Amino acid sequence: MDTAELIDALDREGRLMADAAEQAGPDAQVPTCPEWRVRDLLAHTGMVHRWVTRTLTEGMTEPARPQPGQEPGDADLTPWFREGHGALVKAVTEADPEGRYFTFLPTSRTPLAFWARRQAHETAIHRVDAESARGKGLSPVTPAFAADGLDELLTGFHTLERSRVRTEAPRTLRLRATDAEAVWTVRLSDDVPRVEPGDAGDAGDADCELSGSAEELYLALWNRLPITELRTTGDASLAELWRERSAI
């Protein structure tokens, strides 16, 4: 997906998140993050939005810590979130496409494209959390957006040293999106996972394959949908390994 599409997604997902949070109420429990209430969800995401806005508007090339504890009380929390989300959308829209900004994941994209992508998916996943707290079902995402988020998760977060998805002996996990003609092969060992994206026709043997729609894979691999809802072929213990160890 290009940067403009991701900015549009960021705008949409943030508005949906605010609406769902407002309907759920600040004290509602978040089923997908049981240790959180909606107030915690808004405080966290609002803090991240402000941190990225500062990164872009101040042209920061070195990491700076997010600043927690800036959120207001419950009565003003959703408007505060909306304000920060709107400022972030404005910042990514107006930032220099070739500007140099701090980033924290492996990427071949420009820093601005990195942040548009990261914040679109950050906000989408937490929108799912807010809608889970509200009930009444989840807003859908397109196969293209879900596949983009899967790619970021697999080739970004899980190629970092901190990924805990590891096995004593080499194993292969395959992830196949049935509606996006997309497949990722994850080579597991006692080292950092190696991820090989490619067309579905490039697939070879795997110890375990998880398949479903791109949206189902997106939500399951971010642990927002039970991984058991995916179709599992082969050694199901690798699916359980992902569930237990993949939290970001």
Distance CA 119, CA 128 (A): 14
Residue 243 has a CB neighbour count (10 Å cut-off) of 15
Per-residue pLDDT tens over the stretch 207-221:
999 999 999 999 999
Residue 162, exposed/middle/buried by CB under 10 A (0-12, 13-18, 19+)?
Answer: exposed
Q: Name residue, tokens 């237990």.
A: 244
> Residue range 221-230: average pLDDT?
96
Per-residue pLDDT tens over the stretch 22-39:
999 999 999 999 999 999
Per-residue pLDDT tens over the stretch 116-155:
999 999 999 999 999 999 999 999 999 999 999 999 999 9
Phi, psi of 243 (to 5 degrees): -60, -40
Candidates 18, 221, 203; CA nearest to 129 is 18
Mean pLDDT value across the chain? 95
Per-residue pLDDT tens over the stretch 152-195:
999 999 999 999 999 999 999 999 999 998 999 999 999 999 99
pLDDT at 69: 87
In the chain the domains, ranked by start, together with CATH numbers, are: 3-134 (1.20.120), 144-245 (3.30.1050.10)
Could you tell me the CA-to-CA distances from 129 to 63, 72, 101, 228, 238 in Å, in that order?
A: 27, 20, 29, 19, 25
